Chains A and B, each alone.
Chain A
Amino acid sequence: MDKAFIQRRRRDLVVAACLAAIAAAVPMFVKDVYVQNIMVLTLLYGALSQSWNILSGYCGQISLGHALYFGLGAYTTAILFTKFGVLPWFGMLSGGVLSAIIAMALGYPCFRLGGHYFVIATIVIAEITLLLFHNWDWAGAALGIDIPVRRDSWVTFQFTRSKLPYFYFALGLACVAWFVTWWLEDSKWGYWWRAVKDNPVAAESLGVDVFNSKMGAAAVSAFLVAIGGSFYAQFVSYIDPESVMGFQFSLLMALPAVLGGIGTLWGPLLGAVILIPLTELTRSFIGGSGRGIDLIVYGGLIIAISLARPQGLVSLFSRKPKPAANPVREAVAS
Chain B
Amino acid sequence: MTAETIIQSLASGLLMGLLYGLIAVGLALVFGLMDVVNFAHGEFLMIAMYATFFLFAFFALDPILAAPLVAAALFVFGAVVYLLVVRFAVRAKANTGMVQIFSTFGLAVLMRGVAQYFFTPDYRSIPHSWLGGKTISIAGIYLPQPQLIGGLIAIAAFAGLYFFIHRTDFGRALEATREDAGAVALVGIDKNKVFALGWGLGAALVGLAGAVMAIFFYVFPDVGASFATIAYVTVALGGFGSVFGAFAGGIIVGLVEAITTLILPPSLKTVGIYSVYLLVVFVRPRGLFGSI
Contacts and interface: CB of A to CB of B under 8 A. Distances in A.
Interface of A: 62, 109, 112-117, 119-121, 123-125, 127-128, 131-132, 134-135, 251, 255, 258, 262, 290-304, 306-307, 310-312, 325
A127 B277 CA distance: 12
B221 A310 contact: no
A295 B109 contact: yes
A291 B115 CA distance: 9
A294 to B, nearest CB: 7
B120 to A, nearest CB: 8
Interface in B97-119: 97-99, 101-103, 105-117
B236 A116 contact: yes
Q: Is the interface of B mostly helix, strand, loop or mixed?
A: helix
A134 B267 contact: yes
Contact of A62 (B31, B97, B121, B267): B97
Contacts of B105: 251, 302
Contacts of B113: 292-299
A302 B229 contact: no
A109 B282 contact: yes
Interface string B257-287: 0000000010110110011011001100111
Q: Is the interface of A mostly helix, strand, loop or mixed?
A: helix
A251 B39 CA distance: 12
Contact of B268 (A131, A297, A304, A311): A131
A294 B94 CA distance: 28
Nearest to A112: B285
Nearest to B93: A310
B287 A117 contact: yes
Size bracket, chain B contacts: 35 or more
B9 to A, nearest CB: 20
Given A296-B117, A302-B106, A306-B102, A131 B286 contact: no
Contacts of A121: 277-278, 281
A262 B92 CA distance: 14
B265 A135 contact: yes
A112 B268 CA distance: 27
Contacts of B232: 120, 123
Contact of B103 (A119, A262, A302): A302
B51 interface: no
B284 to A, nearest CB: 10
A325 to B, nearest CB: 8
Given A303-B85, A311-B94, A132 B271 contact: yes
Nearest to B290: A117
A197 to B, nearest CB: 11
B233 interface: yes
B98 A62 contact: yes
Given A127-B270, A132-B271, A303-B103, A292 B116 contact: yes
A310 B95 contact: yes
A312 B282 CA distance: 33
A49 B62 CA distance: 48
A310 B99 contact: yes
B37 interface: yes
A109 B101 CA distance: 24
Contact of A298 (B92, B96, B109, B281): B109
A136 B24 CA distance: 31
A89 B96 CA distance: 41
